[in-house]
C-alpha cells in the first residue's frame, strides 16, 4: 500500500543506514553497495509501509451496513432455529419467526446486489484516477483455459512444468551460430564521452513510469522517485562508478521472465506461440535508461543510423516507414513497373544478439569505449527464472541471453546491431526499411521475374552473409513474398529460395500492422481492421453500468484507433466509399450501444447526439493532422522527400493510380503548411546542466503572491513578462520596475493573430524577450553590482509555459523554448544566472499589471518576431474546418427530422453533455425522446405492434402530447411545470436544446436540472414503461 507509506521516514532510514557513503574502487565494492542499498530500501519499506492483508473471503464492496444487516439476519435465523427445537417447526410462533427471517434474508440479499452495483458505479465514475481504464481491461477476451496446455516438441508432448520451462527457455534463447571471424569494418573517430551528471539521472527518474512491474526485489520505480531527495546523490554515484568500472552490477542482471501468449495464434501447444518479458530490477532499468538516452543522442547527432531505420528513434514511427514504401510503389507504378516486396523475420531478434558482433558494430560507429565496455558487461553473466501459471523455476544462468526484452536499452542497441543490414539506398530500382527488427526489402522492375532474379542473386546472399557475420538467423518459414502490381499475369510468378526453403509469392502480406494486397485495393486490410474493432466493440458492452460518456470515451480510445491505424497509407479521402461502408458499420454499432438507441435511428442522428465525427470526416481529419505533423519534421528526415513528391502528384489530374497521401494534400492549404514551424526530434545533450538556476512553480496562489512580494527586497533584478489578446490578436511584453513601481525598462512584441498563435506561445515569447531585457539592465548596472550579483528573476503568470521550459520536448513551440534555453545559457556564460518564478495573474501585483498593460498595447495583426506559425494552431484550424463541413453535411441531410425540430444548433458538444453523466436507464429514455424513435403508439403501429396510434385520452400519442398536453397526466405535470418554469410549453427547452429561434436557453446546471425533471416526470407517469412495453 504505497499510497500510505511514510516516505520521509523511509528515506531518512535508508540515508542514515548508508552514511557515510563508502568509496567504491572495485567491481566487488560496487556490487556490495548496490546489494546493501536494495536490502535497506526493502527493509525500510516493510517497516514504514502498511501491508494490505485481505483474507480470501474479503470483498471490497462489503460495507458496515451490510455487516449490520447480516447480523440481524443471522439473529433472526437463530431465533427461528431455537423455536423449532423447543416448539417444533409447525408451531405458529415458529412459522412467524420463519417468515420474519425469510423477509430479512431477502432484504439482505437485495441490499448486497444494490451495494455491489453502487460500488461498481462509483468505481467507474473515478475516471480521473484511472479506474475507467482498469475497467476497460475487463473487456479483453479471456482465455478458454487458464493454464498453459501441454507443449508439443516434434513428436513429443511435454506436460511437466519443469520440462515446459526448459522447452520455453530453449525457444526464447536459442543457441545461435558463432559469428564468422572476418568482421573487418571501417571505424570512425570515437565520439567523446562526457561525465555523468546528477541532473541527467534525475530526468531519467522523473520520466520513468512509477508503476511498472518490479523485478526480483519487488521494488517499483515509484520508490526511487519518492526517495530521490534522500539518496539521489548516492544513486548518481553508483551509476557513475558502474560506467567508470565498466561493470553492470550483478544484482541488476537477475531477471524474472514472465511468459505471455502471442495474441491470435491458432495453436498454443507450440512453444513459438509464447513470448518472454523480463521483469528487471527497476534501479538497473534507470541506469539503462540513462545510457539509452546518451546512445540515442549519439545516433541522431552524429548520424550513426541509416535513414531507413524507423524504430526506436525519436520523431519516427511505423506510419512514416509505410509511407516511404508507398511512395516507392506509387513511383514504380507510374513508370509501369512491378514491385516485389520481401518481409524478413529475424529469429530470436533481441535474444539472438551476439555481444561480440554488437561490440564490433559499436566500435565501427565510434561509440565511446567506456560505453562499449559497459554494454559488454550489461550483456554477459545474466541469470533469470521463468514463471507461468503458478509455477516458477529457480534463478539459473542464461547461456544465450542477448538483449533483455523489457530493457529500455535493448531497442537502441538492436538498431545499432542491424544498422548495416538496413543501410540500403531507396531509389527507382528498390529500397529497404526497418522498424527495429521488422526488416523488409523491395525491388522495382519491368517484371516480377526481373525483381526475383535480383533478390535471389543480390539480396539473399547479402542477407545470409550478414547473418553469418553477426551470428544472427532468419526464419525462412516466416518470410513473406508478394508482387505488388495490377498486372494479373505478374502476380503469382516465380519463387525465391532461402536457407534451402522455397518461398512462394502470396496474395497478401502483413507489414507493420497493415495488410498489403497485390493490387493495393486494401479490402483485406479493411476487413482485418473491422474484425479487430468489432471484437472490441462487442466487448465494450461487457462491463455493467457504464454511462454514455464513459462508453464514448472507450470507443474513441479503444475502437476508433484500431480502424484508423496508418490511414494515410490506405485511405483515399476523396474516393473511398466502399471501405467507408464497412468502417461505418462498426461506428454505427458502437453508437447504438452507447446511446441504447433503436436500430432504426439514422447514423447521422446518432453521430450528432454523441458529438462523434462521421467516419469519413474522422479519417480525413486524422490524415490532415498527420500531414501537418509531417511538415514539422526537419529537412534531413526521409519523409520530406515523400512529401515533396506527394505535392507534385497532387497536381497530377490524369494519374491512373491514386496515392492516398497526395489525395490528402489536395484537401489542404499548402501555404499554411509552408509557414508551419519545424520541430526537431533530435534529443538535447543529456549532460547539459540546467539553463536556469531555478524554475519555481508554487501551486498555491497566495504563497506564490507572497513570494513575489518578498522577492523585490532580496534580488537585484526582477523582470515581469506577460501576454494578452484582444480582437483575436496577441501581444507580449516584459517590464522592469523602478523604486517607484513604475516601468523603468520594457520590451513589447506583436505576436500576431490567434489563428496562428496561442496565448501559451505568446507567454513563451514574453519570457524570451524578458531575458534580453535582463541583459540590457545588466550592462547598465554591471559596474555597481558585479561584486554581489544575485540571480535575476523573471516572473511569469503562465504555469504551462514554465513547465514546458522545465521539461522541453518535441511539441509545438519547441523553437521558442530552445531559443529561451539558448539565451539563458549565453547569459550564464557571461556570469549572469537566471531564475523563473510563477506569479498568479491579475492579483494586483504592480509588475504583473504593468506587463499586462504593455502586452495589450503590443497587440497587432502582424508579428514582429522571427518564429514560425504553431502546428498546434494548424491542428485547431483543421478541426474547425472539419466541424464546419460536418455541420454543412448535417444541415443538407434529410435525416433526423424529429431531432431538428427539437434542436436546430446541432452538431454541438452540448448534446453530448446531456447524456454524459446519465445512468443507462435514463439515457435510454432521453435517447428515445430526442430521436423520436420510441415505443409510443405511432411507432408501435408502424411496426404492427398496435392497432392505432392513439393515446388513452384519444389524441395522437406523440412525445409533445405526453410531455405537454395529455390531460391524464395533468396532476403529475404540475411538478414538472414548477421545476421548468417559463420554458414548459417549449419542447426544445424541455429536451435540452442549445437555442431555439435565436434565443439562448439555460445552460450548464440549469439545463441538466430541466432534463432531470423531464426524466423524473417520464418515470413517474409510467412513460418509461410505455417506451419499454413493446421492447
Label residue 227 by pLDDT band (50, 70, 90).
very high
Among candidates 401, 371, 199, which has minimal Cα distance to 280? 401
Q: For 131-140, 579-588, 757-766, 839-848, which range has the lowest pLDDT when averaged over its residues?
A: 131-140
Task: Specify the pLDDT at position 171.
Answer: 86
pLDDT, one tens digit per residue, over 704-724 is 998 888 887 776 789 999 999
Task: Specify the pLDDT at position 366.
Answer: 94
- 785: pLDDT strictly greater than 50: no
Classify residue 427 by its DSSP letter: B
Rounded to whole angstroms, how far apart are CA atoms 100 and 80?
9
Rounded to whole angstroms, how far apart are CA atoms 2 and 222?
9
Residue 841 has φ and ψ, to the nearest 5°, of -80, 150
Task: Specify the pLDDT at position 627.
Answer: 97
Task: Specify the pLDDT at position 32.
Answer: 95
Mean pLDDT of all residues in 817-834 = 92
∠ Cα 901 907 913 (to 5°): 95
Mean pLDDT of all residues in 463-476 = 90
- 811: pLDDT strictly greater than 50: yes
* CB contact at 8 A, 1009 and 976: no
Q: What is the number of residues in the chain?
A: 1031
- 24: pLDDT strictly greater than 80: yes
Mean pLDDT of all residues in 538-542 = 79
Residue 842's Cα: distance from chain center in Å?
Answer: 35
Label residue 1028 by pLDDT band (50, 70, 90).
low
Rounded to whole angstroms, how far apart are CA atoms 340 and 491?
9
Look at strands 480-484 and 383-388 and give their pairing: unpaired
- 459: pLDDT strictly greater than 80: yes
* CA-to-CA dists, residue 827 to 266, 274, 644, angstroms: 64, 56, 40
CATH 3.30.70.240 fits 694-867, yes or no: no
Mean pLDDT of all residues in 13-18 = 92
Most confident of 137-151, 224-238, 772-786: 224-238
Three-state secondary structure string covering 374-407: HHHHHHCCCEEEEEECCEECCCEECCCCCCCCCC
Among candidates 832, 1014, 802, which has minimal Cα distance to 923? 1014
pLDDT > 90 in the chain, percent: 59
Rounded to whole angstroms, how far apart are CA atoms 41 and 224?
9
* CB contact at 8 A, 719 and 709: no
Task: Specify the pLDDT at position 799.
Answer: 94
Task: Specify the pLDDT at position 181.
Answer: 60
Residue 676 three-state SS: strand
Q: Which residue has the higher pLDDT, 980 or 996?
A: 980
Among candidates 758, 765, 767, which has minimal Cα distance to 695? 767
Task: Specify the pLDDT at position 1031.
Answer: 42
* CB contact at 8 A, 649 and 655: yes
Output helix, strand, coil percentages for the chain, rounded to the nearest 5: 55, 10, 35
Q: Which residue has the higher pLDDT, 945 or 745?
A: 745
pLDDT, one tens digit per residue, over 924-935 is 889 988 988 887
pLDDT, one tens digit per residue, over 163-205 is 999 999 988 888 877 887 655 566 789 999 999 999 999 999 9
Mean pLDDT of all residues in 134-163 = 76
pLDDT, one tens digit per residue, over 290-323 is 999 999 999 999 999 999 999 889 999 999 999 9
* CA-to-CA dists, residue 144 to 148, 149, 495, 621, angstroms: 11, 11, 39, 40
Amino acid at each position: 500500500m504505497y499510497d500510505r507509506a511514510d516516505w520521509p521516514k523511509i528515506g531518512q532510514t535508508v540515508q542514515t543506514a548508508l552514511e557515510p557513503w563508502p568509496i567504491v574502487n572495485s567491481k566487488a565494492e560496487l556490487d556490495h553497495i548496490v546489494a546493501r542499498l536494495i536490502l535497506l530500501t526493502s527493509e525500510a519499506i516493510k517497516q514504514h509501509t502498511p501491508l494490505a492483508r485481505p483474507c480470501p473471503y474479503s470483498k471490497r464492496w462489503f460495507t458496515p451496513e451490510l455487516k449490520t444487516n447480516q447480523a440481524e439476519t443471522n439473529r433472526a435465523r437463530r431465533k427461528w432455529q431455537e423455536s423449532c427445537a423447543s416448539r417444533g417447526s409447525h408451531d405458529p410462533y415458529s412459522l412467524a419467526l420463519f417468515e420474519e427471517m425469510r423477509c430479512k434474508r431477502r432484504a439482505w440479499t437485495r441490499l448486497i446486489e444494490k451495494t455491489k452495483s453502487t460500488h461498481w458505479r462509483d468505481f467507474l465514475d473515478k475516471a480521473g484516477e484511472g479506474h475507467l481504464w482498469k475497467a476497460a481491461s475487463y473487456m479483453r477476451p479471456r482465455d478458454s483455459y487458464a493454464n498453459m496446455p501441454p507443449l508439443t516438441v516434434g513428436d513429443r508432448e511435454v506436460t511437466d512444468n519443469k520440462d515446459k520451462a526448459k522447452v520455453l527457455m530453449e525457444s526464447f534463447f536459442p543457441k545461435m551460430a558463432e559469428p564468422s571471424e572476418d568482421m573487418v569494418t571501417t571505424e570512425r573517430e570515437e565520439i567523446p564521452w562526457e561525465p555523468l551528471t546528477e541532473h541527467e539521472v534525475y530526468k531519467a527518474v522523473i520520466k520513468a513510469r512509477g508503476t511498472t512491474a518490479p523485478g526480483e526485489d519487488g521494488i517499483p520505480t515509484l520508490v526511487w522517485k519518492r526517495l530521490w531527495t534522500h539518496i539521489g546523490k548516492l544513486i548518481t554515484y553508483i551509476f557513475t562508478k558502474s560506467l567508470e568500472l565498466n561493470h553492470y552490477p550483478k544484482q541488476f542482471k537477475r531477471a524474472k521472465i514472465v511468459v505471455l501468449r502471442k495474441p491470435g495464434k491458432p495453436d498454443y501447444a507450440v512453444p513459438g506461440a509464447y513470448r518472454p518479458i523480463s521483469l528487471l530490477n527497476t534501479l538497473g532499468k534507470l541506469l539503462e535508461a540513462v545510457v539509452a538516452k546518451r546512445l540515442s543522442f549519439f545516433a541522431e547527432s552524429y548520424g550513426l543510423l541509416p535513414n531507413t531505420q524507423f524504430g526506436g528513434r525519436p520523431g519516427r514511427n511505423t506510419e512514416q516507414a509505410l509511407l516511404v514504401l508507398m511512395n516507392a510503389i506509387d513511383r514504380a507504378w507510374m513508370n509501369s513497373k512491378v514491385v516485389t516486396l520481401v518481409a524478413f523475420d529475424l529469429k530470436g531478434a533481441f535474444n539472438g544478439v551476439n555481444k561480440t558482433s554488437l561490440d564490433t558494430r559499436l566500435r565501427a560507429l565510434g561509440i565511446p569505449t567506456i560505453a562499449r565496455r559497459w554494454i559488454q558487461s550489461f550483456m554477459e553473466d545474466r541469470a533469470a527464472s521463468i514463471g507461468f501459471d503458478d509455477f516458477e523455476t529457480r534463478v539459473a544462468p542464461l547461456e544465450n541471453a542477448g538483449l533483455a526484452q523489457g530493457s529500455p536499452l535493448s531497442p537502441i542497441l538492436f538498431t545499432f546491431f542491424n544498422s548495416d543490414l538496413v543501410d540500403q539506398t531507396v531509389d527507382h530500382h528498390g529500397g529497404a526499411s526497418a522498424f527495429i527488427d521488422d526488416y523488409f526489402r523491395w525491388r522495382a522492375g519491368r517484371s516480377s521475374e526481373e525483381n526475383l532474379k535480383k533478390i535471389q542473386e543480390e539480396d539473399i546472399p547479402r542477407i545470409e552473409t550478414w547473418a553469418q557475420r553477426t551470428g544472427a538467423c532468419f526464419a525462412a518459414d516466416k518470410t513473406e513474398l508478394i508482387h505488388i502490381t495490377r498486372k494479373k499475369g505478374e502476380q503469382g510468378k516465380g519463387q525465391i529460395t532461402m536457407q534451402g526453403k522455397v518461398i512462394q509469392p502470396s496474395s497478401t502480406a502483413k507489414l507493420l500492422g497493415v495488410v498489403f494486397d497485390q493490387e493495393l485495393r486494401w479490402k483485406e486490410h479493411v476487413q482485418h481492421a473491422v474484425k479487430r474493432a468489432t471484437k472490441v466493440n462487442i466487448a465494450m458492452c461487457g462491463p455493467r453500468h457504464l454511462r454514455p460518456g464513459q462508453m464514448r470515451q472507450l470507443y474513441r480510445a479503444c475502437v476508433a484507433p484500431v480502424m484508423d491505424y496508418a490511414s494515410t497509407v490506405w485511405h483515399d479521402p476523396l474516393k473511398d466509399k466502399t471501405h467507408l461502408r464497412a468502417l461505418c458499420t462498426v461506428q454505427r454499432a458502437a453508437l447504438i450501444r452507447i446511446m441504447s438507441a433503436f436500430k432504426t435511428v439514422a447514423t447521422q442522428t446518432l453521430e450528432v447526439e454523441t458529438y462523434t465525427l462521421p467516419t469519413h470526416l474522422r479519417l480525413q481529419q486524422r490524415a490532415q493532422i498527420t500531414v501537418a505533423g509531417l511538415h514539422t519534421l526537419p529537412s534531413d528526415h526521409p519523409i520530406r522527400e515523400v512529401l515533396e513528391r506527394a505535392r507534385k502528384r497532387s497536381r497530377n489530374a490524369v494519374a491512373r493510380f491514386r496515392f492516398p497521401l497526395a489525395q490528402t494534400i489536395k484537401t489542404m492549404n499548402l501555404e499554411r503548411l509552408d509557414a508551419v514551424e519545424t520541430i526537431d526530434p533530435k534529443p538535447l545533450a543529456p549532460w547539459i546542466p540546467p539553463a536556469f538556476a531555478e524554475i519555481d512553480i508554487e501551486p498555491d496562489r497566495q504563497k506564490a503572491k507572497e513570494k513575489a512580494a518578498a522577492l523585490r527586497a532580496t534580488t537585484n533584478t526582477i523582470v515581469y513578462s506577460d501576454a494578452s489578446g484582444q480582437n483575436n490578436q496577441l501581444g507580449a511584453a516584459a517590464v522592469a520596475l523602478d523604486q517607484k513601481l513604475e516601468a523603468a525598462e520594457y520590451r513589447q512584441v506583436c505576436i500576431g493573430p490567434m489563428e496562428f498563435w496561442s496565448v501559451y506561445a505568446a507567454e513563451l515569447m514574453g519570457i524570451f524577450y524578458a531575458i534580453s531585457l535582463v541583459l540590457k539592465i545588466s550592462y547598465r548596472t554591471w559596474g555597481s553590482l558585479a561584486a554581489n550579483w544575485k540571480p535575476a528573476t523573471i516572473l511569469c503568470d503562465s504555469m504551462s509555459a514554465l513547465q514546458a521550459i522545465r521539461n522541453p520536448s518535441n511539441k509545438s513551440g519547441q523553437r521558442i523554448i530552445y531559443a529561451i534555453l539558448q539565451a539563458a545559457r549565453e547569459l550564464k556564460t557571461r556570469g549572469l544566472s537566471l531564475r523563473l518564478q510563477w506569479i498568479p495573474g491579475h492579483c494586483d501585483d504592480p509588475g504583473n499589471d504593468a506587463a499586462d498593460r504593455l502586452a495589450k498595447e503590443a497587440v497587432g495583426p502582424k508579428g514582429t518576431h522571427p518564429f514560425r506559425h504553431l502546428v498546434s494552431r494548424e491542428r485547431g484550424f483543421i478541426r474547425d474546418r472539419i466541424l464546419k463541413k460536418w455541420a454543412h453535411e448535417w444541415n443538407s441531410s434529410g435525416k433526423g427530422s424529429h431531432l431538428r425540430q427539437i434542436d436546430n444548433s446541432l452538431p454541438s458538444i452540448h448534446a453530448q453533455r446531456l447524456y454524459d453523466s446519465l445512468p443507462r436507464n435514463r439515457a435510454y429514455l432521453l435517447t428515445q425522446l430526442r430521436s423520436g424513435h420510441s415505443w409510443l403508439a405511432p411507432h408501435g403501429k408502424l411496426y404492427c405492434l398496435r392497432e392505432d396510434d392513439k393515446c388513452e385520452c384519444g389524441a395522437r400519442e406523440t412525445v409533445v402530447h405526453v410531455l405537454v398536453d395529455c390531460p391524464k397526466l395533468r396532476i403529475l405535470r404540475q411538478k414538472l411545470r414548477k421545476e421548468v418554469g417559463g420554458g414548459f410549453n417549449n419542447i426544445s427547452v424541455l429536451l435540452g436544446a442549445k437555442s431555439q429561434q435565436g434565443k439562448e436557453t439555460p445552460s450548464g446546471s440549469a439545463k441538466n436540472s430541466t432534463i432531470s425533471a423531464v426524466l423524473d416526470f417520464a418515470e413517474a407517469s409510467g412513460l418509461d414503461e410505455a417506451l419499454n412495453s413493446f421492447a
